[in-house]
Structure 1
């Protein structure tokens, strides 16, 4: 038991360095203020072009097939020809069994292949299975991995198991970016979101991500605010820059502008590149293109 206590203390000691006692109403008020005062100034064509280049173009449906994923990827190939003046999306995000299809179909440079892995979206399976699935996704062509924390372990206070899993999966990913999904809708409170953010970064996350999109509420501006605050504090204490990815329920250009504004206000210009900022969405791509071009476009 003694050894277990000392392990738990390691995580509690890490959390103790940060303010995790947050007031949800105060966070809400801060977010409302940012949205009211700052979003409008970012509503520009330049920002929309930038946001498009930060998209992880995602298909995670039970109906996905080799053929549908191939067509999905072909659209990304065609984009460069049809819109030569715009930068393409940042990545294509699929289930692990489609990594090879994307790899074999993708013929434009500079676009990553991201796979959700490790028992996505519930993260409810054996760590051995999570590691095997992640290793296979990488072997098949993925160079980014999106995993979900063990939410149940976190909520029951078993930080050790949660963090050990993240660490083992990061060891599997090696230099490939690993995005850690907090499933903020299941965490409920700002304090929980802050704690889960810190522990995920401490355990090896290259990015922290709001949601799987499979649980409601998915991404919210309040969750984004707390996560960006955690990233900022973590960077101040460690020097490590961790990326941020809102995902799930990003349905309008305004939603995307809100997340952009929160990142800009809390983390600054240094985070405004697609190495540190991504948007997990599929429907947003056409909406951004339509606004950039000033006419309805249904390209993807």
Structure 2
């Protein structure tokens, strides 16, 4: 899939800790006052089909779009031993602060998939200083309860996906081991059998958590949904094999008037395909148009 915009720019943002994030911009045909910030899922990037599809749909409706590549996901290893994870909201905050200072958008919308959706929900719910420019949010296939989702992913039904995640995660981790041999050993890496093992050995330790389940507990957006005060559309398909029952926060949606939960029967994990557009692309554009 190709981007429709011919007005493209990659921007490297240097973060406060000295690391970097690459942002891929696509500007609308006419100067726009509206921007959509898109965050990808685990081991994704700005070129994934679901990200490009969403970008094209927003472009068709006159939005500028910036597609975020999490640390180490833009084709170049990041500098630090740490990288990105489901609860790492500080990088999103720095991205948004840069946008507020360097651009003059009247309305900014956030669109996230899977891990990226969890980051957005946690960010909105944990802070009391969300900028007034943030008007609305759409998140897709979000593992709101990370411990439950992790347990689902390592089940036999998700074996092909688990193998794929493990391959790319370990490929990066072996590279980091060469950069930081004092942080993790080859022996420790060879003991990793699944995603939970990976989070025990790397994600938790590299980002200040006690272990994988402490990381899951602290980073799950489910803990923060009640505090969200921006119109937020959450679409989680009932046949998403990555999600546990806790990832369908019906009670939170009933209690928070700003949280709109949709649970279609089909769609899988980021797979809401239609004849011409993904269902979630259409719903996101429609939802944003109201705010």
Q: Shorter-normalised TM-score: what interval?
A: 0.3 to 0.5
TM-score normalised to the size of structure 1? 0.33
Of Structure 1 and Structure 2, the greater helix share is in 1
Of Structure 1 and Structure 2, the greater strand share is in 2
